[in-house]
Amino acid sequence: MTSRAPARPVGTVTRGTTNPNRLRRMDRWIVATHGAELRRAGEPVAVDLGYGAAPWTAVELLGRLRAVAPGTRVVGVEIEPARVAAAKPYEREGLVFRHGGFEIPVPQRPLLIRAANVLRQYDEDQVADVWRRLCARLAGVTESSRGGLLVEGTCDEVGRRHVWVALGPEGPRTVTFAVRLGSLDRPSDLAERLPKALIHRNVPGEAVHAFLRDFDRAWAAASPYASYGARQRWMRAVRELSADWPVLDGPARWRQGEVTVAWGALAPRRAL
């Protein structure tokens, strides 16, 4: 009897662009919102999916997660075999690299999958299927846990502007906008970093377009606060925005240059 050949990884090779500290904003948010879940799990698995041509983001993820959940193990997953081979020298206790794709080749269901700048090259109509596939691999909901978390989004090359969707086993939950405030002219500058599910929806009649329009208006109205710094202006604008939009976080996150909104408020409303 002949043995079956290993299944081909699901997905396509990305450009692989990466830089040290590029995903710091996403990681900071994960630690703040999902750190307790990781701690309760004891020895959870986190996956850095599509880490790129260099392993920096996976190495950094291990350090950031272990600062709040020391038992965390990180698996870097890449569909390009040469990238996996190049990352192997960086393996250490708690960090390994594996060849794979959206099938997530790890034996234990992960409590976290981070997929940054992975779906940018895909078509919008492919996103829902990828989300379903990845969410199906997450750790399930229990009496004491909301289950695993998938964080999927896009950022610029140095991580100053970032937008991501957070999903649980049940599907999308929230959208987070994060920015280095000193580099911001207006909130709608973040439109170019919308994840694939939303980037083509920044047009009249779509919710994300209305949200960014209202955010710009709130930012303009908060201009008197600019004399106190960009952080104070951002916080005032988000507070104003929260009167009409389901903002889910509070001042502690706003101070970081973040705002998180319920997915249902920004979800696509019509077929393109």
- DSSP letter for 193, please: G
Which pair of tokens denotes residue 9?
């990884």
pLDDT of residue 16: 66
β-strand pairing of 258-262 with 171-179? antiparallel
pLDDT in tens, 249-265: 999 999 999 999 999 99
Task: State residue 67's pLDDT score.
Answer: 97
Instruction: Pick 16 or 184 by higher pLDDT.
Output: 184
Contacts for 243-252: CB closer than 8 Å, 24+ residues apart: 244/214, 245/211, 245/214, 248/174
For the stretch 173-185, pLDDT in tens is 999 999 999 999 9
pLDDT for res 245: 98
**In order of start, what are the domains of the chain with their CATH numbers?**
24-180+246-263 (3.40.50)
Is residue 4 scored above 50 in pLDDT? Answer: no
pLDDT in tens, 17-51: 788 899 999 999 999 999 999 999 989 999 999 99
Q: Which of 93-102, 120-129, 262-271 has the lowest mean pLDDT?
A: 262-271
> For position 271, what pLDDT does the model report?
59
DSSP states along the chain: -PPPPPPPPSS--------TTTTHHHHHHHHHHHHHHHHHHSS-EEEEET--SSSHHHHHHHHHHHTT-TT-EEEEEESSHHHHHHHGGG-BTTEEEEE--TT---SSPPSEEEEESSGGGS-HHHHHHHHHHHHHHSPPPBTTB---EEEEEEE-TTSSEEEEEEEETTEEEEEEEEE-GGG-S-GGGGGGG--HHHHTT-STTSHHHHHHHHHHHHHHHTGGGGGG-HHHHHHHHHHHHTTTS-B---HHHHTTTEEEEEHHHHS--S--
**Nearest C-alpha neighbor of 115 from the set 193, 51, 55, 20:** 51
User: Is the entire prediction scored with pTM above 0.85?
Assistant: yes
* Cα 93 to Cα 115: distance, rounded to the nearest angstrom: 22
pLDDT tens, position by position, 63-105: 999 999 999 999 999 999 999 999 999 999 999 999 999 999 9
